[in-house]
Every structure is written in structure tokens, then in C-alpha cells.
Amino acid sequence: MASIKILEQKCIGCKKCISGCPFGAIAVEGEGKARKAVILDSCTLCGACVDYCKFAAIELTKDDVCHEDISKYQGVWVYCEQYRGELRNVGLELLSQARRIADLLGTDVTAVVVGGAIADQATALIAYGADKVIYVEDERLTDLNDLIYTDVLTMLVKKYLPSIILLGATGFGRSLAPRVAARLKTGLTADCTKLDADIEKGLLLQTRPAFGGNLMATIITPNHRPQMATVRPRVFSPLTPDFNRQGQIIRETAPALTDQAAQILEMIESSGGVNIGEADILISVGKGIGNVKNIELAQELATLLGGSVAVSRPLVDCGWMPYLHQVGQTGKTVAPRLYIACGISGAIQHLAGIAADKVVAINTDPEAPIFKRADYGIVGDCVEFLEAMIAEVKAKNIHAL
Ligand SMILES: Cc1cc2nc3c(=O)[nH]c(=O)nc-3n(C[C@H](O)[C@H](O)[C@H](O)COP(=O)(O)OP(=O)(O)OC[C@H]3O[C@@H](n4cnc5c(N)ncnc54)[C@H](O)[C@@H]3O)c2cc1C
Ligand code: SF4
Ligand code: SF4
């Protein structure tokens, strides 16, 4: 396993390495000649500090490179999540990317679907871009038990050796993907916002926000297979289905599904019915809304227009709205037709969650970054805007847009 240590006999306690660590994971302790750098628990073993030390006092030992023949891994897989026999859209969205990447790399696309009653979905997956569908149907897979699903997916990967696997970063996908990656001793890039291919090296280029969303990092998995990535729902669009496409459909049998550490006793649907990820119109409010009472104006306008209310993170942090409504890097990605941003500054972490067709921004600060993302901007008070919009919508008897 990779490790890092300070070579005390070489370290002179000069503190230069502190500014070289993007994670604030180095401190210098002690006095005089006993002053030495120490590595803190927040170290991610990224290695950025090593070159900052002119005294070669930081020693980073990297993982051994895997010597397995990775050329035998071929093809792009999409794990297509379903619930109670119904496919989640994210699998179809990922098939469009898998198709593009497979075409660049000159390989094929396989959709993998696991569940209780799913055989009927296979032809749809071919229509959305898969060349092959591998499905495992077993009534013991009706409930989404991530431990059991890990066994099934790992078994399939070991049998078919895909080079790339894409999964949706849903609640379930976020649990399944790292378990499978750990079993296969390979890497996983979570929450990618862009996928591409290095045609020469046959690698998946996995791009995602890094360092608190302040830059985009492109990550590769050069030495291990499969190359695994998750992508949030609604980041990509599905292909237009072509029901004339032909493909191969393979049924696999589930491995022994016993002796699991956890059992699902009951599945309970979440209450509240809010899914901002599916909304067509979002009235989104930020700190500029002023107080919790004013959110009711956004709710009223959303109801009049047939939309939902979304928020920036500070409103969740201060308990004004539940997390389910948060848009952004650590919230949801939304793709409405219309996104009305009321009193939202437009921090990069918030913008990372907006994939809207049209954005309207209302902000008192004409320099607010949200205006760079907006199609229409109003410099002004968002509370006055909401009151005026509600009055206008009511006066003109406008219903859902
Ligand atoms: C790792 C990390 C992850 C993050 N994830 C997310 C995330 O998922 N989602 C997210 O939203 N943020 C996220 N953040 C926080 C993000 O950096 C910003 O702090 C946050 O988005 C700011 O929210 P805001 O625009 O509502 O508030 P502020 O930055 O306080 O901006 C308020 C805006 O309202 C304007 N304003 C004030 N009064 C009025 C008025 N009366 N009418 C109109 N405009 C007015 C101001 O000019 C200002 O532009 C994350 C941060 C980090 C470090
Ligand atoms: S590790 Fe190197 S850079 Fe850091 S305090 Fe010691 S000598 Fe200075
Ligand atoms: S390896 Fe990376 S995270 Fe760890 S101390 Fe060095 S710079 Fe910081």
C-alpha cells in the first residue's frame, strides 16, 4: 500500500512543504533543531508536496504496479440500474456516452442489468445504443441489496473482462460501484462530469471537479482493469432510441446468493415527493432571499408554474430547506427547461449542478458570477421580483409553462 513519511534526519523544519499541500495535511512541530514536519491524517497521498522539499525529506512510496495482462480486457459496459423492473434513466444516459467512447476506441457496448423481473428491458437497451445485453434475472434480486448485487456484478466482470464500466451515481450506484471496484482491486472515479477516450492508449478519460470544485481533474486508470466511473443522473442525454437496432442478449445465472451480512426487511418509498432532478421548472433560491419566510414566495411561484423549489447549499446548512432541494456539486444535478436563480451568487460548486436549458438570474450585484451562466439577468431585489412575478402570473391567469 502507498505510504508517506518525513525523513527526520533530512528535515530542517523550513515549512516550505506546508504551502505545497492542497489538503492542509502538513504541520511543522517542535522548536529549534527539533522542528520537523509531520504528516496529518487528512493526507490523501497525492504526492504534491514531495517536490516542494529541497532537502528530499519527504518519502512517498507508491503502490506496486499491477502486472496483470490488461490487454485481455475489452469493451465498454454500462451497469443499467433498475427498480422493480423499471430502468432508471441514468443507464440510458450513460449508454449514449458508452456508444461514443466505444466508437472512438473501436470496441462494443454492453448493457448489464440485474434484477427480479427484467428480461423485458433487454430490447430497449439495444435500442438505446447497446450491442449486447447481459442480464441476470432472479427473484432474490428484486430488492436492491448492494451486497448481493456486488457479488453478481463482480462475478460477471471476472467472466467477461470489460475494459470500462460506467455506473450511475445514484444512491444505490454510489454504494455498489466502490464495493465492486474494491473487490476487483481497481480504481473508481466518482461523479464524472465529462467522459472521453485516449484513442492511442485505449484509456478512459474521466473528468470531474476537484479541490472543492475550483478546477477540473482528468483522471486515468492506466495500470488496472476495469476502468470504473460513476456519473450523476441528467449530466448526459440518452440517444434517440432506434428500435430497429439488433443486438445479442445473454442471460446469466446469479451466483449463490446466501450468507449475506445484511438482509433487506422492507423497502419504504421516501416521502415528500420532491425530486428536483426531474423538475421542468425550478425556482431556486440562495442566501439573497434574506429570510426563511421569503422562501414561501418561491414556493408559491413554483406551484403556479407547475415547478419545484431548489436551493443553494447555505440554505440547507442553516436548516431553512431539506437537503433534497440542494443543487450543486454536493447536491443534485438538475436539468429543467427553466431555472430561475433568485439571490444566488453563482459559485462554481453551485453551477456544477445546473444543466438547465435556460437560466434567469436575479441578483442585486451586477458582478455576481451567476450572470455569466444566465441567459437573462435582472439586477435587482429577488423578493420584489418574486412578488411581481406572482402578481403577473395570477393577473394573466398563466398556469404551467
Ligand atoms: C466542497 C464544496 C462543495 C459545495 N457544494 C455546494 C453545492 O452543492 N451547492 C451550492 O449551492 N453550494 C455549494 N458549496 C458552497 C458554494 O461555494 C457557495 O458558498 C454557495 O453556493 C453560495 O450560496 P449563495 O449563492 O446562496 O450565497 P452567497 O454566496 O451568500 O450569495 C448570495 C447572493 O445573493 C445576492 N443578494 C443579496 N441580497 C439580494 C437580494 N435582495 N436580491 C437579489 N440578490 C441578492 C448577493 O449579491 C449574492 O450574490 C460548496 C462549497 C464547497 C467548498
Ligand atoms: S519536509 Fe522538507 S520542506 Fe517540509 S519542513 Fe522538512 S525540510 Fe522543509
Ligand atoms: S501527499 Fe499530498 S496530501 Fe499528503 S502531505 Fe503531501 S501534498 Fe499533502
- One-letter identity of residue 340: I
DSSP state of 322: -
Structure confidence at residue 62 (pLDDT): 81
Structure confidence at residue 65 (pLDDT): 67
Question: Could you read off the pLDDT of 208-236 as tens digits, one per residue?
Answer: 987 766 778 999 999 999 999 999 888 89
Structure confidence at residue 79 (pLDDT): 98
Structure confidence at residue 195 (pLDDT): 97
The preferred substitution site among 282, 333, 364, 370 for testing ligand 1, maximizing ligand atoms within 8 Å of CB, is 364
Alpha-carbon distance of 50 to 60, in angstroms, equals 7
Q: At what angle do helices 382-395 and 295-305 cross, to 10 degrees?
A: 30
78-100 residues labelled b (16+ CB within 10 A) or e (exposed) = bbbbbeeeebbbbbbbbbbbbbb
Which ligand does the CA of 12 lie closest to? Answer: 2
Q: Is the CB of 362 under 6 A from ligand 1?
A: yes
Q: Is the CB of 13 under 6 A from ligand 2?
A: yes
Closest among 344, 395, 386 to 369, alpha carbons compared: 344
Domains identified in the chain and CATH numbers: 3-61 (3.30.70.20), 70-252 (3.40.50.620), 276-395 (3.40.50.1220)
Whether the CB-CB separation of 374 and 361 falls below 8 Å is answered with: yes
Cell of 398: 398563466
Q: Give the atom of ligand 2 at the shortest distance from the alpha carbon of 20.
A: 3
Q: How far is the CA of 18 from the centre of ligand 3 (A)?
A: 9
Q: Is the CB of 37 under 6 A from ligand 2?
A: yes
Structure confidence at residue 398 (pLDDT): 75
Q: Is the CB of 18 under 6 A from ligand 2?
A: no
E strand or H helix that includes residue 203: strand 203-210
Structure confidence at residue 170 (pLDDT): 87
Q: Is the CB of 341 under 6 A from ligand 1?
A: no
- Average pLDDT per block of 10 residues along the chain, 401 residues long: 91 94 93 94 91 95 77 96 92 97 98 92 95 94 90 97 96 94 95 94 92 81 96 90 96 80 78 76 97 96 94 96 93 90 96 90 98 96 97 83 56
Query: Ligand 3, atom 4: nearest CA belongs to which residue?
Result: 43
Q: What predicted TM-score, i.e. pTM, was given to this entire model?
A: 0.72
Alpha-carbon distance of 63 to 3, in angstroms, equals 8
Q: At what angle do helices 171-184 and 146-160 cross, to 10 degrees?
A: 50
Query: Ligand 1, atom 31: nearest CA belongs to which residue?
Result: 345
**Residue-wise DSSP of 258-273:** ---S-------PPSS-
Q: Is the CB of 21 under 6 A from ligand 2?
A: no
Residues with C-beta less than 6 Å from any ligand 3 atom: 4, 20-21, 23, 25-26, 39, 43-49
Structure confidence at residue 270 (pLDDT): 65
Q: Which residue has the cell 427547461?
A: 337
Q: How far is the CA of 202 from the centre of ligand 3 (A)?
A: 30
Q: How far is the CA of 9 from the centre of ligand 3 (A)?
A: 20
Which ligand does the CA of 42 lie closest to? Answer: 3
Whether the CB-CB separation of 387 and 400 falls below 8 Å is answered with: no
Structure confidence at residue 313 (pLDDT): 97
